[in-house]
Amino acid sequence: MSLWTEYEFGIGGRKPAKNWTAAERGNQKQKQTYYRRNCIWKIQLHLINKGHRIEAANAIIRSTYGERTSITNISKLIVRDRSEYKANGGLHPNLV
């Protein structure tokens, strides 16, 4: 949920990640962090656009990749799924 808050509203007085400029996203310090988080944000947005609330979207993501799986590992699995499930647009079948 904190990832979504960071994306939508910002954390600690910082601006929301959805409003970051290309320079901010490409900053060497932030580049990999943004890339990994963006993988999750895209799936959250996809599920929200399908009609799910953010809580339900997060529950679907957790049930797909494991309740105890870390956010870092979830993002790695999402990247893996892009090549493994090309027929589904790069999404795990549970997320389509």
Query: What residue spans define the domains of the chain?
Result: 25-95
The mean pLDDT of the chain is: 91
Q: Is the pLDDT of residue 24 over 80?
A: yes
Check: CB of residue 77 under 8 Å from CB of residue 43. no
Q: What pTM was computed for the model?
A: 0.84
- pLDDT-derived band at 21, boundaries 50, 70, 90: confident
| Separation of alpha carbons 88 and 34, rounded Å | 24
Q: Which two tokens stand for residue 7?
A: 């994306």
- pLDDT-derived band at 57, boundaries 50, 70, 90: very high
Check: CB of residue 63 under 8 Å from CB of residue 76. no
- pLDDT-derived band at 63, boundaries 50, 70, 90: very high
Q: What local confidence, expressed as pLDDT, does residue 59 receive?
A: 96
| H or E element that contains 44 | helix 31-49
| Separation of alpha carbons 91 and 77, rounded Å | 10
